[in-house]
Amino acid sequence: MQSSSRHPAGSSLTKHRRGGDFGSYGRGLPALSMATVVAIALALALVFFYAPLEAEEGFLQKIFYIHVPLAIVALCGFVIGGLLAIQHLRTRDPKWDFRSYVAIHMSLIFALGALITGSIWARGSWGHWWVWSEPTLVSFLIVFLLYATYQPLRFSIEDPERQSRYASVFAITAGAFVPLNFIAVRLSSAYLHPRVLGSASNLPGPMRLTFLVSLGAISLLFVTLCKYELAAKHTRAQVRALRRRLAGEGVELPRRGRSAAPSATTIAAGRSGA
Task: Print the binding letters for residues 184-223 with other proteins: x by CB under 8 A, - otherwise.
Answer: xx-xx-----------------------------------
Task: Tell me the per-residue interface mask from 125 to 144 with other proteins, x by CB under 8 A, - otherwise.
Answer: -----------------xx-
Q: Is 33 exposed, middle or buried (0-12, 13-18, 19+ CB in 10 A)?
A: middle
If we measure between CA atoms, which residue out of 201, 203, 199 comes closest to residue 54? 203
Is residue 156 a contact residue for other proteins (CB under 8 A)? yes
181 contributes a contact to other proteins by CB under 8 A: yes
The region of 63-71, 106-114, 154-162, 200-208 touching other proteins under the rule CB under 8 A is: 154-162
Closer residue to other proteins in complex, CB, 183/253: 183
**Element of type H or E holding 126:** helix 94-126
For other proteins, the closer of residues 176 and 251 by Cβ is 176
DSSP letter for 13, please.
H
Give CA–CA dist 148/132, Å, rounded: 20
Length of the chain counted residue by residue: 274
- 70-88: string of b/e by CB count within 10 Å (b at 16+)? bbbbbbbbbbbbbbbbebb
Told to check if 45 binds other proteins by CB under 8 A, we report no
Residue 177 within binding range of other proteins, rule CB under 8 A = yes
Instruction: Work out the angle between the directed axes of helices 94-126 and 205-247 (0-180°, nearest 10).
Output: 140
**Interface with other proteins by CB under 8 A: which residues?**
89, 142-143, 145-146, 149, 152-153, 155-159, 161-162, 165-166, 168-170, 172-173, 176-177, 180-181, 183-185, 187-188
